[in-house]
């Protein structure tokens, strides 16, 4: 059981610190919520672990770009998953919307990691970013875990009815997330290449 909490921490932390993972954190958190419904994990502990992993991971990512962002962007390799166009667009949105926009971007799938990077690049002060990161981590992690718990009865019923089909559905959801992420990545790269050649 204790390994379940460690697994949740490591999966959430790794994505928040910028390490790619084929399974989105949102699915991981909803599944752990379901495990609390089944009595395998304890709800308050899961929320505490998920919020801590999110906050620590995103704070490290922010700190890296706060102190070394200019160097990283200047010497970044071609495969680096942060495109110039994405940074420019999101930077403009965050600057225009202030703290409220920063909070909303931290709740948005695919923008969460970019937001921490951009906050570091824009040199948003730690006393501004870290409270927003803590509140957004609490909202995001607790929200998905609780949603997974509330959907627990439905998941149990659907799992019994679907049998092995549920694994194909889960695989399909993961593939959709992967395809959307890859399309977004290659579109950003193409936009950067077009901007460079124009």
Delimit the domains of the chain by residue range.
2-197
Model pTM above 0.85: no
| CA quadruple 92, 184, 108, 13: dihedral sign | negative
Which pLDDT tens digit goes with each residue over 14-68? Answer: 988 888 777 788 888 888 998 898 888 999 999 999 999 999 999 999 999 888 8
Which pLDDT tens digit goes with each residue over 102-143? Answer: 888 788 877 787 788 888 888 888 988 999 999 999 999 999
> Cβ of 3: how many Cβ atoms within 10 Å?
7
- Find out whether 130 and 59 touch, Cβ atoms under 8 Å: yes
């Amino acid at each position: 059981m204790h390994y379940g909490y460690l697994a949740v921490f490591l999966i959430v932390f790794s994505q928040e610190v910028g390490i790619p993972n084929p399974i989105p954190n949102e699915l991981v958190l909803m599944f752990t919520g379901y495990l609390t419904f089944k009595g395998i994990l304890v709800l308050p502990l899961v929320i505490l672990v998920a919020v801590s992993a999110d906050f620590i991971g995103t704070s490290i990512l922010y700190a890296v770009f706060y102190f070394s962002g200019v160097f990283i962007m200047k010497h970044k390799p071609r495969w680096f998953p942060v495109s110039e166009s994405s940074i420019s667009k999101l930077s403009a949105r965050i600057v225009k919307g202030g703290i409220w926009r920063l909070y909303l971007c931290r709740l948005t799938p695919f923008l969460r990691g970019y937001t921490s990077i951009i906050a570091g690049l824009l040199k948003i002060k730690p006393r501004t970013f870290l409270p927003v990161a803590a509140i957004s981590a609490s909202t995001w992690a607790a929200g998905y875990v609780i949603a997974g718990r509330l959907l627990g009865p439905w998941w149990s019923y659907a799992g019994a009815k679907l049998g092995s089909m549920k694994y194909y559905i889960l695989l399909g959801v993961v593939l959709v997330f992967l395809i959307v992420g890859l399309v977004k990545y290659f579109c950003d790269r193409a936009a950067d290449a077009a901007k460079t050649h124009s």
